[in-house]
Every structure is written in C-alpha cells, then in structure tokens.
C-alpha cells in the first residue's frame, strides 16, 4: 500500500487529484512520468485502506466489444499497455508482469432485435481491428458444448485481448511508482473548493487545511458529483449498486467459461478454479456511496436460475463469497466524462465510467496527464468524452453496458 501523510507537506501544489483509487493513481503516474512535467502532485484519498472504493470491488474485466469506436480504441490501448506493463514502468525489475486470462467475452442474443445490435457492433469492432465474431448457436455449441442454446439466436465472441486481468498489480505499481517520482498521497477528504471566477484556486480539507492548486482533477469515483458540486458544476454521475457472486460447481464445464452475458442480464465466467457471476439489482436506482448492503434473495431468485438454465452443469453449486460494489454510473449516456470543464478551465474530469473504469484507466490516465501538462491530447483524442456534450445536451451513447 502507498504510504499516506496525515497532513500535506506543502500548502500549494501544481496538481491536486481528488480520489486516489485506480483512476486517480493512473493519472498521478502518467503525470509524474511525463518528461515535460517537473511540478508537484498531491493525491487526496479519504480511505487509504481502499476497502469501500469501486476499485476494491472490481471484477477486473477487459473487452473491446463496445458500440462506441472511441471505447474500442481505449480498450485496445489498455490491452497493449498491460502486455507491456513492466517496460512502461521504467523497466523496473521490481515491477511484476500482469497476469491475464484472455478467454473472451460472449454476448448471447435471445431475439432478433439484439442479434441485429450485436452484428452492427461487430462490424464496427472488426473495422477497428478487434477479433469479434458472430456465431450461430450451432457454432457456439461446437466450441462450448456446456451451454443450453435452445433460446439463443446468435452470439458475439472475441477471444483476442478480452477476459480479465490482475488489476490489483497495476493499481499497486502505479501508486508505488508515482510516489517514487515524487507524488504525495495524503489521507483526507475535500469538503470545499475555492473558486475565483473561472478558476478553482484551491481546496479545503476536512481537517480545515487549505491547499492552493494550479489544476484540480476530479477522480472521486461514485462521489464525483459531490466533488463537482463544490465547484458549482452539475455532474451526472451517481453510485449504482452491482452484485458479485463467487461459487464452486459440483460438475465441471470441462472448459474455461468466457464472460457470458446472458439475455437475462446476468453474466458469468470462470475465475481460476471457481466461477464468478454478477448482475444489477432489478430496481437499478441511485444509492448512497456508503451503501454496500447485499440483496440476499437475488442469488436464489435471479442469478442461480439464469446460470443453471444457460449452463446445466451449474445445477449444483456452492457459494464461496459475495459482495456489493458500485458503478460510478453516468445516466446521461453511459460514457466516461473526461477532460477540462469548458469554462472552469483548471477543473478536469475523470468520471462516470459506468463500470469500465479499471479497463479504461490506462488511456484515461494518459489522456488526463496530457491535458494537465500540455493543454491538449497528444495521443488518443478523448475530446468526444468531454463535459461540453453534457452542457449542450448532446449524448455520445455507449449501449454496450453490462
């Protein structure tokens, strides 16, 4: 774990990052490692244990099966970044490789309408170099004979750079290496922003300490809207609860199970020697960021019936563990909100990932660092994800949200 100061060592920083989980730490690392930056960075994190953050409850998934071209490119960068992680972290011999499991995502269509959506998305993804295939039920059954496909029209499968990875290693190393580059992590909570016209001049911590800053970055996950509100900004990001279940099966499928998105809305995949399933609540409303209460009936009433129907080998299972986590959900268009505010130019967003924050964090970390240091994107242009679309009521919708 990164060491945290109880009190910031300075009264002024070039960059203050509000939120030190995986997105905030990605930004900290990319800023600190940029040769063009020689300033100071403070990361303010309210919970140094990270026990209640979205990062701690992630399923660490990775996919390119999106409906937005930019999201496909963001994921392709992340896949390449993970494969070359050590070399991109100064070739430091203490940085481990990241363990990956590329046995794919499989979207199943239960009707012709969703089958048409999958086919349209597949054409977009293939045009960008993704390995997505549209398979008939017979073709799926030949590859994965454990599925019940009687009610399936087709499936969309990609086995290239899709599956899951050890995001904990990436998170830990970003924090550690950022600190080696001079980034300071402090335990605290931002409770006020000092705004002077179109500039945020500083932040006030719960302790009463005021910190001046050149740029403030909102990387506060499910709490992002309350952080933005301190600067007088309305941000459409809210905590939405998601449930995860890890279980053992009495019978083996005889094959790794790709992350399978069932028409019921339940998803399931292999997870080492066990399996992992998840879903949203039936009533998917905003919750408190402190609400981690489990729905203990949803497993019996929704998840297990769905996975046992789709994979008959799961008719006898034993729960190992379960938990509730949060999406930092953007109900406006289900896409990330990234980059500077169009009027408050030194307030930068990295918010609203709607369940994709871990897999998008490498590209978002790099992009936000470019904005902070160079004032523009120098690699992948993330401008379509900017706040301006929110202000202008022009959604850039991502439909492939699980």
pLDDT in tens, the chain (402 residues): 458 999 999 999 999 999 999 999 999 999 999 999 999 999 999 998 888 777 777 888 899 999 999 999 999 999 999 999 999 998 889 999 999 999 999 999 999 999 999 999 999 999 999 999 999 999 999 999 999 999 999 999 999 999 999 999 999 999 999 999 999 999 999 999 999 999 999 999 999 999 999 999 999 999 999 999 999 999 999 999 999 999 999 999 999 999 999 999 999 999 999 999 999 999 999 999 999 999 989 999 999 999 999 999 999 999 999 999 999 999 999 999 999 999 999 999 999 999 899 999 999 999 999 999 999 999 999 999 999 999 999 999 999 888
The pLDDT of residue 51: 81
- Please indicate, yes or no, whether residues 249 and 107 belong to a single structural domain of this protein: yes
- Please indicate, yes or no, whether residues 265 and 323 belong to a single structural domain of this protein: yes
- Please indicate, yes or no, whether residues 372 and 306 belong to a single structural domain of this protein: no
- Please indicate, yes or no, whether residues 284 and 349 belong to a single structural domain of this protein: no
Question: C-alpha angle 56/58/59, rounded to 5°?
Answer: 140
The pLDDT of residue 134: 98
- Please indicate, yes or no, whether residues 155 and 45 belong to a single structural domain of this protein: no
Residue 264, classed as helix, strand or coil, is coil
| Domain endpoint, select from 277, 298, 328 | 328
What domain range includes position 113? Answer: 101-163+238-328
CATH assignment of the domain containing 278: 3.30.9.10
- Please indicate, yes or no, whether residues 129 and 216 belong to a single structural domain of this protein: no
| Domain endpoint, select from 282, 312, 328 | 328
| Separation between Cα atoms, residue 149 and residue 153, nearest integer Å | 8
Alpha helices for 214-356 (secondary structure H) = 224-230, 298, 304-310
Question: C-alpha angle 281/282/287, rounded to 5°?
Answer: 50
| Separation between Cα atoms, residue 291 and residue 52, nearest integer Å | 10
- Please indicate, yes or no, whether residues 319 and 380 belong to a single structural domain of this protein: no
> What are residue 185's DSSP bridge partners?
43
Number of domains in the chain: 2
The pLDDT of residue 1: 42
| Separation between Cα atoms, residue 9 and residue 227, nearest integer Å | 23
The pLDDT of residue 200: 97
CATH assignment of the domain containing 208: 3.50.50.60
- Please indicate, yes or no, whether residues 316 and 363 belong to a single structural domain of this protein: no
Residues belonging to the chain: 402
| Separation between Cα atoms, residue 104 and residue 253, nearest integer Å | 16
- Please indicate, yes or no, whether residues 146 and 253 belong to a single structural domain of this protein: yes
| Separation between Cα atoms, residue 389 and residue 85, nearest integer Å | 33
Residue 248 phi, psi (nearest 5) = -100, 150
C-beta atoms surrounding 396 within 10 Å: 17
Q: Give the helix/strand (H/E) hosting 139.
A: helix 137-143
């Amino acid at each position: 774990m990164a060491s945290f100061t109880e009190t910031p060592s300075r009264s002024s920083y070039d960059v203050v990052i509000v939120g030190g989980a995986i997105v905030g730490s990605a930004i900290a690392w990319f800023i600190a490692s940029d040769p063009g930056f020689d300033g100071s960075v403070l990361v303010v994190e309210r919970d140094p244990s990270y026990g209640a953050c979205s990062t701690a409850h992630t399923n660490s998934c990775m996919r390119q099966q999106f409906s937005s071209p930019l999201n496909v490119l963001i994921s392709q960068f992340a896949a390449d970044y993970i494969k070359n992680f050590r070399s991109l972290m100064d070739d430091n011999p203490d940085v481990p490789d990241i363990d990956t499991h590329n046995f794919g995502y499989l979207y199943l269509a239960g009707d012709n309408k969703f089958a048409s959506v999958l086919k349209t998305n597949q054409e977009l993804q293939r045009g960008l170099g993704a390995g997505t295939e549209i398979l008939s039920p017979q073709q799926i059954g030949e590859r994965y004979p454990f599925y019940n496909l009687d009610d399936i029209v087709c499936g969309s499968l990609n086995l290239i750079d899709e599956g899951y990875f050890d995001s904990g290693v990436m998170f830990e190393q970003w924090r550690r290496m950022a600190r080696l580059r001079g980034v300071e992590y402090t335990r605290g909570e931002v409770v006020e922003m000092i705004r002077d016209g179109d500039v945020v001049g500083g932040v006030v911590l719960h302790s009463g300490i005021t910190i001046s800053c050149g740029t403030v970055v909102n990387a506060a996950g499910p709490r992002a809207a309350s952080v933005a509100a301190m600067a007088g900004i309305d941000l459409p990001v809210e905590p939405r609860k998601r449930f995860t279940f890890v279980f053992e099966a009495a019978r083996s499928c005889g094959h790794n199970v790709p992350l399978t998105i069932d028409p019921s809305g339940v998803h399931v995949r292999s997870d080492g020697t066990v399996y992992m399933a998840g879903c949203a609540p039936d009533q998917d409303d905003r919750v408190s960021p402190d609400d981690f209460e489990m729905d203990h009936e949803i497993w019996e009433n929704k998840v297990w019936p769905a996975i046992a129907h789709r994979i008959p080998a799961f008719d006898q299972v034993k729960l190992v563990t379960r938990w509730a986590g949060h999406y930092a959900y953007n109900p406006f268009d289900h896409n990330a909100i990234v980059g500077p505010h169009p009027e408050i130019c030194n307030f930068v967003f990295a918010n609203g990932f709607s369940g994709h924050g871990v897999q998008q964090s490498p590209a978002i970390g790099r992009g936000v660092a470019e904005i902070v240091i160079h004032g523009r994107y120098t690699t992948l242009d993330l401008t379509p994800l900017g706040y301006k679309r929110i202000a202008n009521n022009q959604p850039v919708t991502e439909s492939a949200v699980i």
